[in-house]
Structure 1
């Protein structure tokens, strides 16, 4: 299944909705200022709620670090909302901090 759906990375609710759509088989284009910056796609190889970080390569990690540096990392609250919207169990703050960039909010 595919559908035309675009979302801004500056809209946390839209990103959460995009992840929900991708979890149901849709490909979602992430757009900033009229330019595509990423696609959110279904993960066919992973089991339910499992992202299999061991399958990532160093290029993936570098892209994540570059985007976090350029656009800012999500906060823990953003990750909580995304997990909740996707209907996934919250793996805990320690897991998120170990696997993903997190912005600390003061």
Structure 2
């Protein structure tokens, strides 16, 4: 659990420093990628804090890490606007799906 938080904080700080140093890295894309890092860190932490079975935690960890990496990389190329932003909409939908998977894994682990 501590390792997940430490790695995420290091990635977040590196992302923020890159946003300050690289002029082509727009502030809105910096916000998007930082948001992805924080949200996926929270989901990973909740997966390991919850009472889900170890196989569910491991599977969710891989899924969340993969989706988070995909969202982070595509965040560099996201449109630099709030309105009509398909990247933001897809990220919200993926986060909702991740949250549902996490809820189901924890809920059905408590039932068994």
Q: TM-score, normalised by structure 2?
A: 0.30
* Larger relative contact order (CA 8 Å, sep ≥ 6): 2
In terms of fraction of residues, the more helix-rich structure is: 2
